[in-house]
């Protein structure tokens, strides 16, 4: 009954007493229980959600509710929700409770949105498969032997399987868009600095963004305009006024859309069905009157190395605060250690998983005195070149189109000789983070195994309005 309804439709149904918010919460809870084997929620705030729903139901009757009343949200477990546990999918934060609300949470609650629980994710948001969580892998809703993507994998599954209407995730290199593509939902990353990260556990601060996963562009628009904008707790947030994104859904004039020629080159590593869907999307857009043009991007192959050098460097400093003293987990063996350093070492060795340790070491290496210029400083320069080249493209084009990922969802636990194989998953998504621009992934079809295929559209800085309006037009609602 509630499946596939947008927030607007839900609000109309609530007002007409077709069902209550309590009923809606029970429907989501039922789906969470039914699909428990997918391992989506680390914790469900069942009693709290039902209690709050009853209170909001009362106020719906008297017409005194906020504009997000009826919205039930799941949060990736990297976002602080006061007095609730917060683990970042890591053992090192086991038992840690958030001391305050993230700004996004404050703003959601202020408009009567309800938080239903915290969702599994790759440890410290590092990964593309959810296999890096200390709390077990999350499974893909289309094939439980496959990954849901990462790092906000569970957040995408929750939306696909109607366990909440919308999930709040984080996107440092594709972490809302890639799982959205693998799970057949929409994943939206705003411009860097559009949404406050106060209360978001930091991975790589010059890349990290809060992102949204949903089924309807208008839900993304409505939530975005509520949570975006200036925040005294995060100085990286732009002062630019927040637009009414939900009011911008009128038909757009023909657009100029670029795509990278080399993606369709015969030697590129695209899965055949992903290639076919890119080609058919291009054809369709042309039939609709848009100008779709192949362009060259000789710097494309540098994006991933730049991303992994800079994000590991930033991660190595951001994660130095987890020392077994200040937050969560402390190894019991470490208590007997003779000195502070040995205690830190013991807790970090046991508390962090393999991928996180690998990245801390890589980051420490690229920041070390002997290699700083060769790696970190050079990567910063190349980042600048990529950002400037991206800007040049937008002087001529409205959007850049690509697949969201080179392949559809892959199998859980496939051993990889080379970690770079997994990093290649991020080939198309990281540009938006390197350049700080908004991007969205939406579903265009399925492959032969009936796994969803996603396309990505990127737009220029602060063109969220145009991007969401175009998306709405594309999916024909």
Question: Cβ 201 to ligand GLN, closest distance in Å?
Answer: 11
In the complex with ligand GLN, which residue's Cβ is closer, 123 or 218? 123
DSSP single-letter state for residue 140: B
Q: 441, 454 in Cβ contact below 8 A?
A: yes
* Residues between 304 and 363 with contacts to ligand GLN, criterion CB under 6 A: 311
φ and ψ at residue 334, rounded to 5 degrees: -70, -25
Active site residue 76: yes
> Which H or E run includes 97?
none
Question: Cβ 372 to ligand GLN, closest distance in Å?
Answer: 21
Between CA 171 and CA 117 the distance in angstroms is 19
Q: What share of the chain is helix, strand, coil (3-state, %, to 5)?
A: 45, 15, 40
131 near ligand GLN, judged by CB under 6 A: no
Question: Cβ 168 to ligand GLN, closest distance in Å?
Answer: 13
Active site residue 256: no
For 252, other C-beta atoms within 10 Å of its C-beta total: 14
For 143, other C-beta atoms within 10 Å of its C-beta total: 15
209 near ligand GLN, judged by CB under 6 A: no
In degrees, rounded to 5, the angle at the alpha carbon of residue 440 between the alpha carbons of residues 458 and 244 is 95
Give the SS3 label for residue 435: helix
- Choose the stretch contacting ligand GLN; rule: CB under 6 A; options: 120-128, 246-254, 286-294, 323-331: 120-128
203 near ligand GLN, judged by CB under 6 A: yes
126 near ligand GLN, judged by CB under 6 A: yes
> Which H or E run includes 82?
none
Q: In b/e form, how buried is each residue of 78-101, taking b as 16+ CB within 10 angstroms?
A: bbbbeebbbbbbbbbbeebebeeb
* Residues between 72 and 91 with contacts to ligand GLN, criterion CB under 6 A: none
Active site residue 316: no
**Using CB under 6 A, which of 74, 89, 117, 127 touches ligand GLN?**
127
In the complex with ligand GLN, which residue's Cβ is closer, 13 or 121? 121
174 near ligand GLN, judged by CB under 6 A: yes
Question: Cβ 323 to ligand GLN, closest distance in Å?
Answer: 23
- Choose the stretch contacting ligand GLN; rule: CB under 6 A; options: 95-103, 173-181, 377-385, 468-476: 173-181
DSSP single-letter state for residue 202: P
Binding residues for ligand GLN (CB under 6 A): 125-128, 151, 170-175, 203, 311, 426
Task: Give me the active site residues, please.
Answer: 76, 151, 175
């Amino acid at each position: 009954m509630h499946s596939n309804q947008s927030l607007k439709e839900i609000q109309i149904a609530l007002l007409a007493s077709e069902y209550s918010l309590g009923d809606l919460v029970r429907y989501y809870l039922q789906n969470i229980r039914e699909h428990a084997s997918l391992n989506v929620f680390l914790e469900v705030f069942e009693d709290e959600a039902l209690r709050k729903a009853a209170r909001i139901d009362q106020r719906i009757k008297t017409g005194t509710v906020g504009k997000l009343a009826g919205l039930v949200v799941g949060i990736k477990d990297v976002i602080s929700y006061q007095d609730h546990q917060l683990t970042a999918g890591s053992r090192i934060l086991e038992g840690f409770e958030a001391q305050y609300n993230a700004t996004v949470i404050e703003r959601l609650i202020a408009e009567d949105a309800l938080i239903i629980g915290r969702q599994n994710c790759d440890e410290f948001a590092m990964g593309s498969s959810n296999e890096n969580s200390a709390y077990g892998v999350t499974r893909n809703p289309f094939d439980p032997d496959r990954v849901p993507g990462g790092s906000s994998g569970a957040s995408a599954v929750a939306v696909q399987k109607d366990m909440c209407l919308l999930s709040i995730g984080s996107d440092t290199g594709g972490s809302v868009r890639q799982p959205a593509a693998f799970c057949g939902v929409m994943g939206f990353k705003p411009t860097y600095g559009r949404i406050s990260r106060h209360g978001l556990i930091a991975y790589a601060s010059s890349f990290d963004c809060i992102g949204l996963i949903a089924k309807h562009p208008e839900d993304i628009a409505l939530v975005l305009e509520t949570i975006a904008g200036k925040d005294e707790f995060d100085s990286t947030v732009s002062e630019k006024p927040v637009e009414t994104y939900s009011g911008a859904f009128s038909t757009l004039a023909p657009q100029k859309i670029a795509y990278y020629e080399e993606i369709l080159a015969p030697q590129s590593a695209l899965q055949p069905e992903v290639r076919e869907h890119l080609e058919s999307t291009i054809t369709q857009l042309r039939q609709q009157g848009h100008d779709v043009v192949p362009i060259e991007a000789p710097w494309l192959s540098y994006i991933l190395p730049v991303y992994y050098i800079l994000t590991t460097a930033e991660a190595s400093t951001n994660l130095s605060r987890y020392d077994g003293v200040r937050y969560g987990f402390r190894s019991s063996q470490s208590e007997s250690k003779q000195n502070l350093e040995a205690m830190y070492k013991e807790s970090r060795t046991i508390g962090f998983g393999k991928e996180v340790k690998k990245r801390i070491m890589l980051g420490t290496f690229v920041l070390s005195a002997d290699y700083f210029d060769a790696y970190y400083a050079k990567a910063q320069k190349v980042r600048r070149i990529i950002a400037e080249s991206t800007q040049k493209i937008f002087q001529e084009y409205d959007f850049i189109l690509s697949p969201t990922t080179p392949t559809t969802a892959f199998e859980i636990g496939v051993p990889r000789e080379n970690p770079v194989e997994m990093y290649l998953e991020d080939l198309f998504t990281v540009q938006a983070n390197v350049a700080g621009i908004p991007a969205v992934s939406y579903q265009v079809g399925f492959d032969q195994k009936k796994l969803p295929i996603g396309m990505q559209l990127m737009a220029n800085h602060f063109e969220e309005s145009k991007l969401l309006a175009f998306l709405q037009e594309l999916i024909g609602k």
